[in-house]
Amino acid sequence: MSGNHDPITLEIIQSSLQAAADEMFAALRHTAMSAIIYEVLDCGTGITDRNGELAGSGAGIPAFVGVLDKTVKKVLAKHDRPGDIEPGDIFMTNDPYNGGVTHLNDVILVMPVFSDTDIVAWTANIAHWNDVGGMVPGSMSTEAREIFQEGMILAGIKLFSRGHLLRSVFDILTANCRMPDFLTGDMWAGVASVRVGERRILEIVNKYGKDVFLHAVEKYMEYGEQVSRAALKNVPPGRYFLEEEQDQGPPWKVTVDVSDDEFIVDLRDNPDQDKGPFNMSKDEAIVSCQMAFKCVTSPERVANGGTFRPLKVLTRHGSIFDPKFPAAMGIYYEMTIRLEDLVTRCISQRLPDRLPAGSFASVCGTLFGGIHADTGRTYAVIEPELGGWGGTPHADGTPGQFSALHGETYNCPAEVAEARYGVSVDYLSFHDEDGGAGLHRGGKGVRIDYRMRSDNAWLTVAYTRSRVLPWPLKGGCLGSPNHVQIVRRDGSVEDHSVVSGLTVNKGEVIRIITGTGAGWGDPMQRDLALVQDDVKNGYLTREQANRYYRLEERLRKSGAG
Amino acid sequence: MSMRVATDIGGTFTDLVYVTPDGSVGTGKSDTTPGEYEKGVMDVIAACGIDPRDFDSFVHGTTIVINAITERKGARAALITTEGFRDVLEIGRGNRPDFFNLEYRKPRPFVPRYLRREIPGRISYKGVETKPLDLAALPAILDDFRREGVEAIAICLVNSYSNPSHEEAVVARIRDVWPEVSVVASHQITREWREYERSNTAVLSAYVQPIAHRYLDRLTGRLGEAGMRCTPYIMQSNCGVDTVKNARQIPITMIESGPASGVWGAAALGRLIGEQNAVAIDIGGTTAKCGLITGGQVKLNTNYFVERSEHSAGYPVMVPVVDLVEIGAGGGSIAWVDEFKRLHVGPQSAGAVPGPAAYGAGGTDATTTDANIELGCINPHYFCGGKIEADVPALEGALATLARTLGTDRRAAARGIIRIANNNMVNAIKLISVNRGLDPRDFTLIAFGGGGGLHACALASDLGIRKVVVPSLSGVFSAWGMLLSDLRRDFLLTRIVELGGAQAAADLSEGFVSLEKEALRQFSAESIDRSRVRFLRYGRFRYQNQEHSVEVDLPPGEIAEGRVEEIREHFRSAYEREYTYRLAAPVELVCFHLVAIAEVEKLRPQKRPAAGGPVSAAVKGAREVDFAEAGIHRATIYNGDLLGTGMAFSGPAIVEEAGTTVVVPPGIACRIDEYGNYRLGIEGGAR
């Protein structure tokens, strides 16, 4: 067929790659055993080029977009002898120090796609497995002091050889897991997903030819790079710096050097690694910066290896962003949202007319469990929480939404939660806490009341942005904190943001309160009609309207003038 | 003379199909008349020269509900909900499809916060009252609503799916004190759980209720004045029809009636011609919609969304809607080039005004239709059934502008448009097939709508589909599908029944029996005899604690204890088919789904005798056609109106008939079957 470099053909191949990554995602979600994969969608899929550069990624959550390419590169580096990688092989990684990026619970499968004797691409997916061994059920513990306590470490090992499952490897996996049935189901889901991707890519290669395919992938990266470079022109060159106080521990610092073709994030001047699991791998620090880079430059969906070419991330070995082996990393996700928020904030200080104010910016990971009041079975809730986002240059912030790490993540309806967990959901609406006033106000945070219907429930949370509040822009007001209140039977109220294994009894309430986003712009500039609307709608109490917007005073003046 | 009539209001045209007792079929098209849709219906009846006094049956499908929603032209609506849940409607589910966008904005709720009011009272998930309903505040709330000009009230209380008594009490009190206001409670629409989805469904139903009432009253009034004596039926999104009375009560169920009747028509046609597994694609002016037919049946979902896209979470509507995917790829879809010189087609459409550049009505954007003319697929001298002469200079100008931006020539730009539009449709078909574990190669493509015949063979070849059907009457196919629908209502009830429990059999029986009683009560109130009613039972089952459920069909009658194991096994194998593995875990029913069908007199399509004469008699001429991926060839042009049953020919060819154009690429065989359908086979695949 004529026109090897016909741009339409290249475009069709590129959109087919995207469709293949989406199809891999559907397959993974469809066949997964674990709720955290198929409901919370704590999973992702991707396709890389033959060298491990990201070529396309499926739907899901943005926090996983830049992970899989790093895995493929590590697998390629490790298996570097002829015959190490063969058609039908599938490799497996969860080691954050060796291409696994996140934490041991996230298991990545990668598969080479061969056309004749050459690798033309890789297909890959990542999914949170319920249990990978370690010191506690579920493998994540705030008490962990080294990674060995967080589960078995799989560092780019071969799981399938020439299409056949390596039985011995599989037996090691199942023997070291508390929930081998779930492991088996989730593993086969991952296998189905990489294989679907392989099939689709081969269809494309067979239809258009290997050279055209490879050329299309290369051009796609160039396109990703073009989009980023064009967007980078909108970020004024120069040095950006921010030092930010944290809820606990010493402050964090970031320097971003922006030039016409580079965006260099320097994280070297930061605290030494944590003794517990509050660390992130260097690769994860890069992923976090990639997310921030993408969000502040070009939020369109295209995201591939080319997109991130202008970005460089510098870390110091032995710090929280690049810890020395064998530091624990179970709670990396709260570090990720903090770092993403830090970089975004650093840039937005100088570009307040283009970017929104700070949001509640916490995963608000909430774990509680106990005995179901009606069935007598044990239940456990593992969920992120919804909170308010910051006011933007164009509009009020969005209320009640998951953090920037999440994308297609859904909350659990009260009606489903009541049946599944045997607790009573007494409240699921916005709260009235102060915060977020501005020309464009922050989106409201959410309050959820879970009333226990049986004794001896336990609660574990690790929220940030509880003391240091969401940051405003252009004279807006701070947002409000993320916290949990326990309403005891005697009516007393305790307040928490980080707590482990707290006992909550029948009739007592776990009240989750997430932050309202910060305000953008001076509240005094907000149109009085909008303030009155906010009062009418109860987004503001009358008292808040007077305190933050001087509603009555301004009304009197405008009446007089 | 008596006849059966169906009318379908679309975005651009109002279509009519009628069938007389001897089986002869007539069709008509008039302009849709927004704001006064019944006028378009009366116009098309007049244009066909038929008399409402002769109508034996009359089925009507309308876009009035979806239009009122997307154009934000519904009533001023309010919501009454449970204390503590006022903001559920605004929070939604918290998802963000546009996941790098820090300025993502949620869909704005259809009821502002000050019109969302709470009342105390709680029912548990088990249906037990745990806090009595307190209506003391209701009169003051209603006073506020009156003052604010509220026209319709939705009610959605937490756990009403398991026991609707509190919702019923609120409805009753409102009817007492404010009889004029329009009211709907969530349990009247569905008894599935998930408070956000049910609230939004009730709110949208309330939002369209006054408009739908007025429209249906005007329509039946006009038809009555014109002498129609039969009871009209209204097409629903579940592929059935319903009475006007019921449609007035819960108008939201009309939301996708047009697409539903199209997919239903394809399923019915497939059963008729022995193609039980099919992909249906309806390519219209603005969008392409595709749905899947397996075993002659369409699949329904209750997770339909309005305005959902990669940039928006959309608005959920929890009513049974035919499972389909809709994309912005139709005849009017506009081609454009982004800042990186990449060509895109749609989702913006030139609509009916100004329409494609070829309409000569001032459109300067090149569209799919313009590209099809440039390539020779559409005859500029037989455009829109010969009603207008295509404005060739206008379309050439539009394409030339696009080509300059791309740095190519007009022909290449046109070819690019068609290939990208086709690729978009191929990806949509993959969404409803491969993404659900099915291989499109096992299916037949049934393509209809104005653009169905133009694109069908190219789509099939890309998907590996070997058989294509372009139905006779494909231009008014949705209306035709309505003539084949029965009266159908779906009843859904979320209630968990553990199959391991001692009570399982009794609980299963009781659940279905109570729904069947409710169905019969409704039918008898509408004087529909129970002898005409039949039931289909489905259960949505899952492994304990999982979220995904699988719907399986269940036997009628009393469910004996011995049958439970059989049901469990039935579920396990269905689950394995869909999810590839089985578990030893306990199984539970999550939702009862009862389908109540009352037979109505339907069309029975008649076979046509073989046409005499040679196929050459239908040849109009020949011209050069660029088949895009299949190359440039001199194609034989056939007059479709002269083709008859049994005639056959091979591509390269183009068939032109008043309602549609069929493109037959080289190597494709085409045959007219005994119902007048075009049957196309890829690589000799046609029988």
Provide DSSP, A63-102. GGTTTHHHHHHHHHHHS-STTSS-TT-EEEE--GGGTT-S
The residues near B143 (Cβ < 8 Å, ≥ 6 apart) are: none
Interface probe for A, chosen from B86, B89, B96 (most Cβ of A below 10 Å), is: B96
8 Å CB contact of B545 and A420: yes
Report chain A's C-alpha Rg in angstroms: 25
Residue pLDDT, tens place only, A246-297: 999 999 999 999 998 999 999 999 999 999 999 999 999 999 999 999 988 8
Q: Quick check: A38 and B547 CB within 8 A?
A: yes
Average pLDDT over residues B518-533: 89
Percent of chain B clearing pLDDT 90 (strictly above)? 71
Chain A residues in contact with B343 (beta carbon < 8 A): 7-8, 11
**pLDDT tens, B470-520?**
999 888 899 999 998 989 999 999 999 999 888 899 999 999 999 999 999
CA triplet B550, B554, B558: central angle to 5 degrees? Answer: 140
**A contacts of B578 (beta carbons < 8 Å):** 30
Q: Which residues of A touch B415 (CB under 8 A)?
A: 8
A429: nearest CA partner in chain B: B87
* B125, B196, B406: residue with CB nearest A418: B125
B100 in reach of chain A (CB within 8 A)? yes
Token pair listed for B387: 């009603």
A20 sits in which H/E element: helix A7-31
- pLDDT at position B527 is 82
Minimum distance, in Å, between the CA of residue B80 and any CA atom of chain A: 14
Question: Nearest CA to B174 among B144, B153, B157, B200?
Answer: B153
Q: What whole-number distance in Å separates Cα of residue A185 and Cα of residue A34?
A: 8
| Beta pairing class for B324-327 and B152-156 | unpaired
Chains A–B, number of C-beta pairs less than 8 Å apart = 190
Task: Supply the pLDDT for residue A43.
Answer: 86
Q: How far is A107 from chain B (nearest CA, A)?
A: 20
A39/B430 CB distance under 8 A:
no
Distance from CA of A266 to the nearest CA of B (A): 22
The predicted complex's ipTM stands at: 0.93
Put simply, the chain A residues between 136 and 175 with a CB less than 8 A from any chain B CB are: none
The answer for residues whose C-beta is within 8 angstroms of residue B623's C-beta and 6 or more apart is B376, B379, B634, B635, B637, B654
Residues of B in contact with A294 (CB under 8 A): 100
In total, chain B counts a number of residues equal to: 687
A399/B91 touch (CB, cutoff 8 Å), yes or no:
yes
Tokens of A20: 């293949």
- Identify the pLDDT of residue A560: 55
User: Can you tell me the distance from the alpha carbon of B278 to that of B480, in angstroms, rounded to the nearest whole number?
Assistant: 18
Q: Where are the beta strands (DSSP E) in B555-677?
A: 587-598, 619-626, 632-639, 648-650, 653-656, 661-664, 669-672
Contact B579 A31 (CB under 8 A): yes
3-state secondary structure of A315: coil
Q: Do the chains contact at B437 and A30, CB–CB below 8 Å?
A: yes
A291 touches chain B (CB under 8 A): yes
Cα A496 to Cα A485: distance, rounded to the nearest angstrom: 6
Contact B589, B497 (CB under 8 A): yes
pLDDT at B343: 94
pLDDT, tens digit, for every residue of B95-114? 998 888 999 999 999 999 99
**Per-residue model confidence as pLDDT tens digits over B303-335:** 899 999 888 999 999 999 998 888 888 999 999
Q: What is the DSSP string of A159-174?
A: EEETTEE-HHHHHHHH
Q: For the full predicted model, state whether its pTM sits above 0.80.
A: yes
pLDDT at site B683:
57
Tokens 């608000």 map to which residue? A364
The pLDDT of residue B529:
87
pLDDT tens sequence across A312-351: 999 999 999 999 999 999 989 999 999 999 999 999 999 9
Give which of B319, B301, B204 is closest to B253, Cα–Cα: B319
CB-nearest partner of B85 from A38, A400, A428: A428
Give the mean pLDDT of A141-160.
94
Residue A130 pLDDT grade (very low, low, confident, very high; cuts 50, 70, 90): confident
Mutate to test the interface with A, among B81, B93, B99, B545 (most CBs of A within 10 A): B99
Indicate the pairing of strand B182-185 with strand B152-156. Answer: parallel
Is B96–A406 a contact, with Cβ atoms under 8 angstroms apart? yes
pLDDT confidence band for A447 (50 / 70 / 90):
very high
Q: How confident is the model at residue A39 (pLDDT cuts 50, 70, 90)?
A: low
Q: Is some CB atom of chain A closer than 8 A to the CB atom of B93?
A: yes
Q: Is the peptide bond before B555 cis (omega within 30 degrees of 0)?
A: no
Question: In this complex, is the C-beta atom of B128 within 8 Å of any C-beta atom belonging to chain A?
Answer: no
**Residue A3: per-residue pLDDT:** 44
Looking only at the bridges linking them, the beta strands covering A483-487 and A493-496 are: antiparallel
Query: Minimal CA–CA distance to A307: which of A317, A297, A322?
Result: A297
Q: Identify the pLDDT of residue A1.
A: 38
d(CA B112, CA B459): 44
Q: How confident is the model at residue B235 (pLDDT cuts 50, 70, 90)?
A: very high
Structure tokens at A250: 């010493």
CA neighbor of B84 nearest in space, from B36, B120, B41: B120
pLDDT of residue A378: 85
State which residue of chain A sits closest to B498, comparing Cα positions: A375
Helix (H) or strand (E) holding A346, with range, is helix A332-348
Q: Which of A115, A210, A207 has its CA nearest to residue B462?
A: A207
In a mutational test of the A interface, the residue from B79, B102, B305, B496 whose CB has the highest number of chain A CBs within 10 Å is: B102
End-to-end C-alpha distance for chain A, whole angstroms: 76
Chain A residue with Cα closest to B125: A419
CA distance B635 to B665: 9
If you average pLDDT over residues B30-49, what whole number do you get?
A: 91
The 10s digit of each residue's pLDDT in A45-95 is 999 999 999 998 877 778 888 899 999 999 999 999 999 999 999 999 999
Identity of the residue in A15, A394, A424 whose CB atom sits nearest the CB atom of B103: A394
Indicate the residue type of B547: E
Q: Given pLDDT bands bounded at 50, 70 and 90, which one contains residue B686?
A: very low
The pLDDT mean for chain B works out to: 92
Say whether A409 and B94 touch across the interface (CB within 8 A): yes
Confidence of residue A35 (pLDDT cuts 50, 70, 90): low
Pull the structure tokens for residue A394: 């164009």
Give the pLDDT band of residue B455 (cuts 50, 70, 90): very high
Helices (H), A209-330: 210-232, 282-297
Q: What local confidence, expressed as pLDDT, does residue A6 receive? A: 83
Tokens of B465: 């589909």
Q: Any idea what DSSP says for residue B450?
A: T
Percent of chain A past pLDDT 90, that is, above it, reads 77
Crossing angle for the helix pair B37-48 and B195-225, to the nearest 10 degrees: 50
Task: Work out the burial of residue B601: count CB atoms within 10 Å of its CB; fewer than 13 is exposed, 13-18 middle, 19 or more buried.
Answer: exposed
Question: Which of chain B's residues have a Cβ under 8 Å away from the Cβ of A31?
Answer: 579-581
Query: Cβ contact (<8 Å) for B91 and A227?
Result: no
| Overall average pLDDT of the B426-453 stretch | 87
Which one, of B266, B674, B683, lies nearest residue B452 by Cα? B266
Q: How far apart are the first and last CA of chain B?
A: 38
B102 in contact with chain A, both atoms CB, cutoff 8 A: yes
pLDDT band at B687 (very low <50, low <70, confident <90, very high): very low
Note the maximum CA span of chain A. 86
Residue A538 contacts B, CB cutoff 8 Å: yes
CA-based nearest residue in chain B for residue A379: B545
Largest CA distance in chain B: 81
Is the pLDDT confidence value at A4 over 70? no
Low-confidence winner among A38-42, A192-196, B99-103 (lowest mean pLDDT)? A38-42
Interior CA angle at B515 toward A412 and B544, to 5°? 35
- Among residues 188-217 of chain A, which lie with CB inside 8 Å of chain B? 188, 192, 196
A10: nearest CA partner in chain B: B342
Of B130, B193, B546, the CB nearest to A413: B193
Q: Is the minimum CB–CB distance between B87 and chain A shorter than 8 Å? A: yes
Residue of chain A nearest B495, judged by CA positions:
A419
Tokens encoding A124:
């890959």
From residue A224, how far is each of A44, A310, A387 by CA, in Å?
A: 19, 11, 31
Give phi and psi for A120, each to the nearest 5.
-105, -20
Q: A12, B419: Cβ pair inside 8 Å?
A: yes
Which of B25-29, B72-76, B557-561, B597-601 is the most confident on average? B72-76
> CB–CB of B10/B284 below 8 Å?
yes
Name the helix (H) or strand (E) containing A549. Answer: helix A542-549
**Nearest partner of B625 among B616, B617, B636, judged by Cα:** B636
Identify which of A33, A356, A426 has the shortest CB distance to residue B102.
A356
A397-406, B109-118, B352-361: least confident range: B352-361
Q: Which residues pair with A477 in a beta bridge?
A: none
CB of B427 within 8 Å of a chain A CB? The answer is yes
What does each C-alpha distance from B506 to A419, B80, B128, B501, B511 come to in angstroms? 21, 35, 20, 10, 9
